[in-house]
Amino acid sequence: MPNTKVNKILEEAYARGAEAAKNGKVATYIPELGKADPADLGICLCLPDGTRYEIGDTDKRFTMQSISKVVSLALALEHCGPKEVFSKVNMEPSAEAFDSFVELDLRSNRPYNPMINSGAITVASILKEKITINALLEYTRKVCLDPDIDFNEAVYKSEKDHMSRNRSIGYLLESKGIITTGVEESLDFYTRACSMNVTARGLANLGVVLAMDGIDPFTGEQLMPRRIAEVVKTIMLTCGMYDGSGEFAVMVGIPTKSGVGGGLLSASDDRLGIGIYGPALDEKGNCIAGRPVLEYLSEQLELSLFDKADIVDALRKAEANERKKAEKESLRVLRHRGVKTFLPFNVKKDK
């Protein structure tokens, strides 16, 4: 049965996001993305029991763009193992923009993390040796619980025609020995992955699968190994919002990954998954509506990874119960010895 309180919270979150969207702009460096309506906004919550709460454009399809980096990383870890993957890409936050190659060129011989373009192109170069792009598509359909996900050919071609920067990154990776074969093939794999069409609902499904450490909430099937889900969520928290990840972790505290197509994927451990679609972006290339939406949801539903309120309350109750038990036992012993006692107000006298 729908929860009226959650619906009201979701409506308020939507209103805050819609207001923020007025100050954003759609991505135009990929011309096809520039056709999106900046006023579009959809929010979907998916709980571990499969219950969904939705508002707005939750079934409107858009391209994953950088959110595909989450799926590619998970599949690379599953097929190749952490040792091989992290021998070529680091796990550290970056202080540069998602498409920058400054750090790679001047400070490191490996990309800082798999959530920026240089790291994701590296992951694509590893994956293409193990699987086909259609296998990645099938895996994405599985973990998003959405069999209708497909490639958006118009966006793919538009991105291929305007990828000078990513091509520069690819050949810089080759010059450093990170990509050893097939730069163009790696770039094509990466671009195809970015063009997969999803919905906010599908991202919420993926979010709850991650939140439940890889388990399908509807069937109980383990779709992703538990340890891989844990690694992916950790990197989402520290690197998923690019050079704004630190501030986002403080203010929201939910592992989240953005994409310039307007998507946001969030996973609140053991609680729920969140999918957001809002193509109006901020200056860092993140969905501008997503920040106020997720801040409000995190506060109202206590979704932050660092929110210990429920744990502290439970501990306090446990301590209070233990104190009551100890008081009763002390009184019992004293009465047994014939000592007259005065009971505190919160302890009932035994009959």
Q: Catalytic residue numbers?
A: 66, 69, 190, 242, 260
Report CA-CA distances (Å) from 3 to 46, 202, 207: 13, 21, 20
C-alpha to C-alpha distance for 351 and 346, rounded to whole angstroms: 16
CB atoms within 10 A of CB 183: 19
CB atoms within 10 A of CB 164: 8
Q: Given the structure tokens 């029991």, which residue do they identify?
A: 49
- Structure tokens given for 18: 């819609």
CB atoms within 10 A of CB 71: 25
Which of 201, 222, 205, 230 minimizes the C-alpha distance to 144?
205
Chain centre distance of CA 83: 23
Name the burial class of residue 311, with classes exposed (0-12), middle (13-18) and buried (19+) by CB atoms within 10 angstroms of its CB: exposed
The set of residues, in sequence order, having a beta carbon less than 8 Å from that of 344 and lying 6+ positions away, is 327
Which of 260, 250, 252, 326 minimizes the C-alpha distance to 295?
252
Report CA-CA distances (Å) from 316 to 44, 309, 313: 34, 10, 5
